[in-house]
């Protein structure tokens, strides 16, 4: 398994013990309602509790996004073998630990949450690097961004995904956060490969104009121009779902809405759209998917 080992060795003299250091995000969690630590078999899900665990999550992200999915890391990431950005310090990192080796639990799944209340005065969400979320943020007030989701290649499609999902949904409900947002990505930058799923999303999950995220970058795929002239039948779900990520499948079942633009991202070797889900909508649409852990 390619999971990252969290070491618990005693630090050398005069070195800083990363197992007791925290981040701004970890500290901010103390003022919020946290879901109970939950286990299923030899897996346990909770928020990262120190710098060591955050770094382990970053290392797993690096392996999945850059080594496995052929993204293009910058020099700093390559030297440290970790996926790093400015939102990691203030983010809440959900981690799934494989506890079969109790003294060295392994991070086998992670999802980063970033709460709008934790944004610095000049800081914006990661999603806002490419999309203008002004209307969405103004309408809902508080919001939670979900990003950097990944699971070790030997644990996909099962209990790890469900643990992360339930934990995130419980946190959103317990803290009465009205909307969750982020990006839905499709592996590979060949746009033609993703046309069926993009057509399906445009026809069935396009956000209303009053709340719709707008692209901030010059180069993007205009879904309105791409699909507004279609006169044939609706997109084929059977064909579309061939390239739909598992996490996005869950969002769609909760009534997710998307932007009318898709963006090609060579750094992560993906094509992505902006997406959001209203909490009240998801509780009514599919309550079984958002029951507490």
Instruction: Find the CATH number of the domain harbouring 275.
Output: 3.40.630.30
pLDDT score for 159 = 94
Q: Write out the H or E segment, with its range, that includes residue 114.
A: strand 106-115
pLDDT of residue 1: 47
Residue 275: predicted pLDDT: 97
Question: Which domain covers residue 231, as residue numbers?
Answer: 4-290
Distance CA 129, CA 28 (A): 23
CA dist., res. 90 & res. 115, Å (int): 9
Q: Give the C-alpha separation, 18 to 24, whole Å.
A: 14
What's the pLDDT score for residue 72? 96
Strands 106-115, 4-5: pairing is antiparallel
Q: What is the DSSP letter of 266?
A: T
What's the structural domain count of the chain?
1
pLDDT on residue 229? 67
pLDDT of residue 27: 97
**Per-residue pLDDT at 6:** 44
Pick out the chain residues at pLDDT < 70.
1-16, 103, 229-233, 292-293
Classify burial at 48, counting beta carbons within 10 Å of its beta carbon; exposed 0-12, middle 13-18, buried 19 or more.
Answer: buried
Return d(Cα 56, Cα 60) in angstroms, integer: 6
């Amino acid at each position: 398994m390619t999971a990252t080992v969290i070491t618990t060795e005693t630090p050398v003299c005069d070195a800083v013990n990363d197992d007791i250091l925290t981040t701004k995000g970890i500290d901010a969690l103390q003022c919020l309602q946290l879901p109970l630590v939950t286990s299923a078999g030899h897996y346990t899900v909770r928020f990262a509790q120190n710098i060591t665990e955050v770094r382990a999550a970053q290392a797993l992200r690096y392996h999945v996004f850059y080594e496995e999915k052929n993204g293009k890391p910058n020099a700093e990431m390559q030297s440290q073998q970790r996926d790093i950005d400015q939102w990691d310090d203030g983010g809440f990192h959900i981690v799934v630990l494989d506890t079969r080796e109790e003294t060295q639990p392994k991070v086998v799944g992670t999802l980063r949450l970033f709460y709008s209340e934790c944004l610095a005065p000049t800081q914006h969400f990661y999603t806002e690097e490419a999309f203008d979320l002004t209307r969405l943020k103004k309408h809902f007030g508080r919001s939670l961004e979900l990003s950097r989701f990944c699971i070790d290649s030997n644990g996909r499609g099962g209990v790890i995904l469900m643990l992360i999902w339930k934990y995130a949904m419980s946190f959103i409900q317990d803290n009465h956060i009205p909307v969750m947002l982020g990006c839905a990505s499709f592996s590979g930058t060949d746009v033609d490969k993703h046309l069926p799923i993009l057509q399906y999303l445009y026809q069935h999950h396009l956000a209303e104009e009053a709340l719709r995220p707008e692209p901030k970058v010059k180069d993007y795929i205009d879904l309105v121009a791409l699909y507004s002239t279609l006169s044939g039948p609706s997109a084929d779900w059977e064909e579309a779902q061939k390239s739909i990520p598992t996490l996005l499948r869950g969002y769609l079942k909760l009534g997710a809405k998307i932007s009318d633009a898709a963006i090609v991202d060579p750094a992560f070797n993906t094509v992505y759209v902006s997406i959001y889900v209203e909490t009240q909508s998801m509780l009514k649409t599919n309550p079984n998917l958002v029951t507490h852990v």
